[in-house]
Chains A and B, each alone.
Chain A
Amino acid sequence: MTTIEPVPALTPEGTPQRQGRTFADGLRNALPKIVLAPSFAVILVFVYGFILWTVYLSFTTSRILPVYKWGGFDAYYRLWSQPNWYVAMQNLAIFGILYIGICIALGLFIAILMDQRIRAEGVLRPIFLYPMALSFVVTGTAWKWFLNPGLGLEHTMHNLGWTSFKFDWLVNPNMAIYTVVIAGVWQASGFVMAMFLAGLRGIDGEIVKAAQIDGASNIAIYRRIIIPLLRPIFLSAFIVLAHMAIKSYDLVIALTGGGPGNATELPSTFMYSYTFNRNQMNVGSASAVMMLMGITAIIVPYLYSELRERKQ
């Protein structure tokens, strides 16, 4: 989007400064900056300053309370020698890949179905999207009950006559992380669907028509023409989901509490428990720094390209 730069004479920095610049003039010229300054200062201190503070804490010997005695890379050594941290990283990899992959696949699939001139679109859209309005704690609570090994899905299947049906993922340490994936996909896939649907509606119909005249089958049209055109949406969806996956905390807490044992530990739950429950604040800070680095690696290139594109 092009912005017309304001006429120089009217911008604060371009105002004539020669003739008797009074205090009132100066104030008027500085007013926009004065309005913006508090917000920017707040961001500087509470975001960037606090990040530096956390980074510093990760190099100290802090335990229960912050102390400022230099501890070098000790916290990082300890972090990377914790079996728990490896469990958290492994779980994040499992969760992240499945969550992002399934959300995108399912979201695209539903969006394509919805794009076939469906009659009840106005009814269906909100059904796929409402989970996004819920808190992760509500989602976790609902799925915890739904997947309850004794009274939930398993019990229902038994009642339906499928007595050998077994679904104990919630309490099975090897499978518990997949319940987090299920609940996460339920919550976010509708949103991904909405993103893809918006993308599909933005595609030039002429291209599709031309392909149809050439005799291309519907599947070929989607595979060769439409899906490649949706590339920017894939990227946006990936960024949003990856960022949500790394930050995921409430969902795990509400659904499994990180358990059974440490089976569903994620970096976010690791950070919280080491900082506030296990009195290893420096290790907790170090894990927060790792999370920040992960998100920065994803977000910064994306924001950079987004802001540049918009300039053209």
Chain B
Amino acid sequence: MSAANETVSAGQARTARYFIYAALIVLALVYLLPLYVMLTTSLKSLDEIRGGDMLALPKDPSIAAWVKAWGEACIGVSCVGIKGYFWNSIKMVVPAVIISTLLGALNGYVLTKWRFPGHKIVFGMMLFACFIPFQAVLIPMARLLGLMGLSNSTTGLVMVHVIYGLGFTTLFFRNYYEAFPDELIKAAMIDGAGFFRIFWRILLPTSGPIIVVTIIYQFTNIWNDFLFGVSFSGGASSPMTVALNNLVSSSTGVKEYNVDMAAAIFAALPTLFVYIVAGRYFVRGLMAGAVKG
């Protein structure tokens, strides 16, 4: 599109640029539309929703639906809002992210700097674990959690998310440490530094970017998980996504679209916030998840 071709006149080139900008703007509006509708619907009253237009701005914006979604909306039989489920998700995400990231860092370190015969097979098996459909482990896991007395508990969900996140965290750190010069490790070894000392003093201080990528990736995945949440928890122990689905799909009483949308925004806020603050790292994590390390 750059160097002005002799066959393309300046006028044609300008028309082409107008077309490009117009197409991009229209597309951007389409991508933004659902978010806009969610937001405006959550600020409207039910009467205005029923009588008015979905795309119209709220005439009299009110956060009543937000307050109700947070503290009063009925999920199942209990009408205490989504706040408890929101905290369930936080209590599940924080330990699961920390543990799986730490283990992934150590695994990546061993798999690149302390190689042993068969390290490739070990890594390959951990990598494949990232991609299995979780349906293939759902029944045994439900059974095991039941036997351990961890059904319907946040501890059980933390355990599940750590286990099935290990493949990804190991992949991230392995690909990152692979590029770290072995000479530095060797020099440290000659100076008498041991396994953990090298990790703490040499590798970890340079791991900032990959730690951010891993934390964001794990945070987004675990916060957004639905399948494990719906399978291994119930009632008051459910994470946010499960509660949102229960709220929206319940068919009793008047359908309060504004409350549904406010609850959906609460469920979306943490990951959206992370995305806005650290979008660059978020995209890098997604790309690394596509194996291209």
Contact = CB atoms under 8 A, between A and B. Distances in A.
Interface of A: 1, 3-7, 10-13, 28, 31-33, 35-36, 38-40, 42-44, 46-51, 53-54, 57, 66, 110, 113-114, 116-118, 124, 126-146, 148, 151-153, 155-156, 159, 186, 190-191, 194-195, 198, 209, 212, 215, 217-218, 236-237, 239-240, 243, 246-247, 249-250, 253-254, 257, 267-268, 271-272, 275-276, 281, 284-285, 287-289, 291-292, 295, 299-300, 302-303, 306-307, 310
B185 interface: yes
Contact of A136 (B126, B170, B226): B226
A292 B275 contact: no
21 contacts: A3-B182, A4-B182, A46-B163, A46-B164, A50-B140, A54-B138, A54-B139, A57-B139, A114-B24, A135-B223, A137-B244, A137-B245, A138-B264, A142-B37, A145-B37, A247-B133, A253-B230, A254-B249, A272-B231, A303-B131, A307-B123
B283 interface: yes
A110 B241 CA distance: 30
B54 A151 contact: yes
Contact of B54 (A66, A134, A146): A146
B-side interface mostly: helix
A287 B276 CA distance: 39
Interface string B250-265: 0000000100110010
Interface string B164-180: 10110010000000110
Contacts of A302: 291
Contact of A134 (B41, B113, B268, B293): B268
B135 A291 contact: yes
A78 to B, nearest CB: 17
Nearest to A45: B163
A128 B129 CA distance: 30
Contacts of A39: 103, 106-107, 126, 166, 170
A42 B164 CA distance: 9
Contacts of B135: 267-268, 271-272, 287-288, 291-292
A118 B132 contact: no
Interface of B: 1-3, 5, 7, 17, 20-21, 23-24, 27-28, 31-35, 37-38, 41, 49-50, 53-55, 103, 106-107, 110-117, 120, 122-129, 131-141, 143, 163-164, 166-167, 170, 178-179, 182-183, 185-186, 189, 194-195, 220, 223-224, 226-227, 230-231, 241, 244-245, 248-249, 257, 260-261, 264, 267-268, 271-272, 274-276, 279, 282-283, 286-287, 289-293
A36 B137 contact: no
B20 A113 contact: yes
Contacts of B115: 5-6, 11
A216 B50 CA distance: 56
Contact of A6 (B178, B182, B223, B226): B182
Contacts of A31: 194-195
B279 A6 contact: no
B44 to A, nearest CB: 11
Contact of A137 (B49, B185, B226, B289): B226
B291 A144 contact: no
Q: Which 7 A-B pairs have the closest CB atoms?
A: A32-B114, A135-B224, A250-B226, A133-B275, A50-B137, A288-B135, A50-B140
Nearest to A159: B53
A156 B186 CA distance: 68
A46 B133 contact: no
B260 A145 contact: yes
A153 B245 CA distance: 22
Contacts of A310: 293
A42 to B, nearest CB: 6
Nearest to B194: A28
Given A43-B126, A236-B291, A146 B275 contact: no
A292 B133 contact: yes
Given A32-B114, A39-B107, A130-B272, A209 B3 contact: yes
A4 B261 CA distance: 54
Given A43-B125, A152-B54, A191-B286, A130 B291 contact: no
A179 B93 CA distance: 31
B264 A142 contact: yes
B271 A133 contact: yes
B37 A291 contact: no
B116 A253 contact: no
A293 B160 CA distance: 22
B31 A186 contact: yes
A35 B170 CA distance: 13
A111 B258 CA distance: 35
B136 A51 contact: yes
B48 to A, nearest CB: 11
Select the residue from A35, A117, A139 with max chain B CB neighbours within 10 A. A35
Nearest to A142: B34
Contact of A146 (B2, B34, B50): B34
Contacts of A12: 114, 116
A129 B1 CA distance: 25
B47 to A, nearest CB: 12
B242 to A, nearest CB: 8
Contacts of B113: 6
Contacts of A191: 286
A133 B292 contact: no
B137 A146 contact: no
A114 B33 CA distance: 20
Given A42-B163, A53-B140, 12 more contacts: A6-B186, A32-B114, A33-B110, A38-B103, A54-B137, A138-B244, A145-B260, A145-B261, A151-B257, A236-B292, A250-B245, A299-B131
